[in-house]
Structure 1
Amino acid sequence: MDTQMKELIAIGASVTANCVLCLRHHIIQAKKAGIDDDHIQEAVEVGRMVRKDAAASWDEEADALLCLESAIGDAQESADEGSGCKNI
């Protein structure tokens, strides 16, 4: 893998990891390696997509765990009332 590809991957990973210092470093390195602004922007956008999907998955998992906890605590209520949780 060449330096340009590594820097583009590092840019996307930096965005996904929310690491501002990493992103600054890798954008500078990418420009030194001759990568144009359009490709850098594309790598940033890929990182944003990955971060967004990962965050959504974590949010869904947190909601499911909260609903599970609620369901356990409400176990004595009637089944008709339910826990108010869509995921169970």
Structure 2
Amino acid sequence: MTLAGGGWLPIYGGEAVRVGGDVVGRLRSAAFGYTVGRTLGTVYLPATVGEGTPVEVDVFDRREAGTVGADVLHDPTGARMRA
């Protein structure tokens, strides 16, 4: 999943992931993705939660918006590295 708003967020794993206000999973790991310019997280979600679904992650005293992304975010042609 990718978190909205660009930039680094202080998350490391274990934070609750919500869909429609209900907790549906917990982050397994998270880090800043330099090639996509956003914080990325890995989470196991129910099969009913598909790509593009909006989610929220509990980050300390607030919730950060995010989106369920593709299994792998990568640049197969390397175009971003050459830009």
TM-score where L is the length of structure 2: 0.22
Higher share of residues assigned helix: 1
> Which has more radius of gyration?
1
TM-score where L is the length of structure 1: 0.21
Higher share of residues assigned strand: 2
